[in-house]
Amino acid sequence: MWVGVSVGGLIAALMVAGYSPEELYNVIKNPEDLLGDHDARKVMVESLLQKRGFSPTVTLRDFAAATKKTLILVATSLNRGGPVYLSHMTAPDTTVVDAACATSAIPLYFPPVSFDGDTFVDGCISDPYPVDIACITRPTLGIRIKDSAHPGMCGASVLGVGSHVGPCLTEWK
């Protein structure tokens, strides 16, 4: 089971698709290229999925069937005012791209993402460390990145998070 929130959700989705930590590090070296542009982020995720043989419109249901892995991405529903756990069980017809963009829609950096009659922003707002979801079935390793410049805020700085995630990916083998 892979559970991800915010940039961790993007990383989780792409690792389930078959990307290595080194490959993802090369993708996120320059996260400022994606700031404020939902279309650039969406195109990037679509392109990376296609390079691994997935349709850019692959649903969470079909992704789970193809990879034999459960992916749960946390987004914050503006309509419901709380976390939504997007997976093949809860949102089977949602595309992986929409779910990945929703979990990482950091306010002020990216616009909200709308699909299925709901509007979503970054999952860190409502559930920044969704370890309870992952712990349901087996022992869990969680990685939480804390920005010392903004204590208590998850994803306070996309560039700061990117600079922390990159070294973690290169050291994790």
pLDDT tens per residue, range 131-144: 777 665 555 555 55
Instruction: Tell which residue, 66, 53, 58, has the closest CA to residue 19.
Output: 53
pLDDT tens digits along 104-129: 999 988 899 999 999 999 999 999 88
Mean pLDDT, all residues of the chain:
80
Neighbour tally for 167: CB within 10 Å: 10
Residue 78: predicted pLDDT: 97
Q: For residue range 30-42, what is the model confidence (pLDDT) as tens digits?
A: 655 555 555 778 8
Is 122 annotated as catalytic?
yes
How big is the CA angle at 135 (ends 96 and 156), to the nearest 5 degrees?
A: 60
Q: How far is CA 91 from the centre of its chain?
A: 15
Domain boundaries, the chain: 2-168
For residue 171, pLDDT beyond 60: no
Tell me the C-alpha distance between 109 and 95, whole Å. Answer: 22
Per-residue pLDDT of 38-67, as tens digits, reads 577 888 899 899 999 999 999 999 999 999
Which of 87, 104, 122, 127 is labelled catalytic? 122
Give the three-state DSSP class for 17. coil
pLDDT of residue 96: 98
DSSP state for residue 59 in the 8-state scheme: B
pLDDT of residue 126: 93
Q: Residue 135 is encoded by which pair of tokens?
A: 């712990």
Region 139-153: mean pLDDT is: 54
Q: Is the pLDDT of residue 147 over 60?
A: no
Residue with tokens 């712990």: 135
Q: From the candidates 6, 87, 104, 126, which is the catalytic residue?
A: 6
pLDDT digits (tens, 9 = 90+) for 6-35: 988 999 999 999 999 888 888 777 655 555
Q: At what angle do helices 38-51 and 96-103 cross, to 10 degrees?
A: 130
Q: Which of 59, 60, 50, 42 is nearest to 110 (CA)?
A: 42
* Kind and range of the H or E run holding 82: strand 82-86
Longest C-alpha distance within the chain, in Å?
A: 41
Is the pLDDT at 77 greater than 90? The verdict is: yes
